[in-house]
A and B are shown apart, each in its own frame.
Chain A
């Protein structure tokens, strides 16, 4: 796995995404990276179209486009999501993910793991993926994207 002790440039991130994730299409500028990919955790899971947005200085954000994420019942929240279409993939404490890590080997497989647990939760009502708990009413960490639901 490629390593560096500095932050990857967005151009490098784009190169590795396109190299490691067949079919992924990425667009990069000096400050912004946009990735569209189709992820399928395993052959028995659905294939999901996802959109990853990453701005220098921020956290990578993942949106699941199609098929769209669905709560078990109307009005319910999906576990570990920032928004209805946006999974919370890691604890944004600056250690679990940092810019010296490649999106292609962290955010993307973490999304796959999340999707696996999401499909299982839809069937069993149990979230078996673990995670860090915090107050559903608001962020608890500086820099964390607001509104991560349970």
Chain B
């Protein structure tokens, strides 16, 4: 069922929202790729649970985490990855082992060895620092993060290897996703299932809740601004700050501006201190700890505040811009040339479809698609070749 659309007349910027929604759609993982990812996901689950496998004697659960679970996945930066392009999407999943008494390194190696025994993965498997990657060229790569259940922490808590694979760190991606969905007004759905949990159903950009879409847009702007720099704010920091500031205001542009307005206001209020970004489901964890770790962290924080300030100004300028060429010039640096052109084209195609269906209405010196205001515009055909 479609999420109640916010592209309504309640928004102060319905046209800008329509363009931003088309940009989200252009960035969205396409249906075919999503289906292939879901198939691989099922295959991993089936393989790990097979009789005779290394994990056959322990309960193993695989579930999406991060942007994959939140519906905020973007194509990687580089100007590629929008529809029709070949760039790989980065999909993340947790492989949770109910009981694991050995070291984090042993868990990672066992997971690697077990997956490598599958001939299908022979050529696509790669061991990363903390996870095992299945790399399907020109399509997507699936990062599988090994974890064990945190029986002491209870609930949905897990323990994951730290960066050096020396010890376990507490984490709770399920609870975080549940919190995000609550902020989005989405009902908790897949999050209470006990065993294998499928990738979230493919949601079109229009069906996704506005919060997921504005996070998607902010992450895309971050990617273009920081261009893979290590000082880029982490996705979880951006997501948490935006979701915390989200008020449910209708539309996309208005809540996006409101979120960044709140972030900038907060940063100004705590200056020269560094703002805290506690994990909403584990207040003892501070997502912003890296900003306090050293001088480079402080510089990264200052760059983040400047990014937020600039993005707010960019969005305000976009809100005040007239003319599709001017809008193209505003949007392309923010979200990419290809996504912007696709969005403007789709925006125009919507009018053509509505016009053919007699769904365009004339309201004073303007026109609108749908609704009850004004008078219905007769279908017509432009003349000429």
The interface of chain A, by Cβ under 8 A from chain B, is 1, 20-24, 37-47, 79-81, 87-92, 96-97, 101, 104-106, 108-110, 112-114, 116-117, 119-124, 126, 128-136, 144, 148-150
Contact = CB atoms under 8 A, between A and B. Distances in A.
Given A41-B367, A44-B327, A135-B385, A124 B341 contact: yes
B85 to A, nearest CB: 17
Given A1-B375, A106-B377, A113-B367, A80 B382 contact: yes
Contacts of A149: 384-385
Contact of B324 (A92, A123, A136): A123
B351 A23 contact: no
B20 to A, nearest CB: 11
Contacts of A106: 377-378, 380
B382 A88 contact: yes
Given A42-B366, A44-B15, A90-B380, A120 B345 contact: yes
Chain B, interface size category, equals 35 or more
B382 A131 contact: yes
B382 A114 contact: yes
Contacts of A42: 15, 366-368
Contacts of A79: 382, 384
Contacts of A133: 384-385
27 contacts: A20-B364, A20-B375, A22-B365, A40-B366, A43-B366, A44-B15, A44-B321, A46-B322, A79-B382, A90-B381, A90-B382, A104-B362, A105-B377, A105-B378, A109-B367, A112-B367, A116-B351, A117-B351, A120-B324, A121-B348, A122-B324, A122-B325, A124-B348, A131-B383, A132-B382, A134-B385, A149-B385
B261 to A, nearest CB: 21
Contacts of A126: 345, 348
B19 interface: yes
Given A42-B367, A44-B324, A106-B378, A112 B362 contact: yes
Nearest to A37: B365
A20 B373 CA distance: 12
A134 B382 CA distance: 11
Given A43-B15, A89-B380, A90-B381, A109 B321 contact: no
Contact of B322 (A45, A88, A130, A136): A45
Contacts of A44: 15-16, 19, 321-324, 327
Interface of B: 15-16, 19, 321-325, 327-328, 341, 344-345, 347-349, 351-352, 355-356, 360, 362, 364-368, 375-378, 380-385
A118 to B, nearest CB: 9
A129 B324 CA distance: 15
B375 A21 contact: no
B384 A88 contact: yes
A23 B352 CA distance: 27
Given A44-B15, A117-B352, A119-B323, A132 B380 contact: no
A143 B279 CA distance: 72
Contacts of B328: 123
Contact of B362 (A40, A92, A105, A144): A105
B362 A136 contact: no
A114 B360 CA distance: 13
Nearest to B19: A44
Given A116-B367, A128-B351, A136-B385, 15 more contacts: A1-B375, A21-B364, A80-B384, A81-B384, A88-B383, A89-B382, A96-B380, A104-B362, A106-B377, A112-B367, A113-B351, A113-B360, A113-B367, A128-B352, A148-B384
B345 to A, nearest CB: 5
Q: Which of B341, B345, B352, B384 has the most CB of A within 10 A?
A: B384
Contacts of B360: 109, 113
B375 A105 contact: yes
A91 B352 CA distance: 16
B351 A123 contact: no
Contacts of B323: 44-46, 119
A108 B375 CA distance: 12
Contact of B378 (A88, A101, A130): A101
A3 to B, nearest CB: 11
Nearest to B348: A120
Given A81-B384, A132-B383, A134-B385, A39 B365 contact: yes
B352 A130 contact: yes
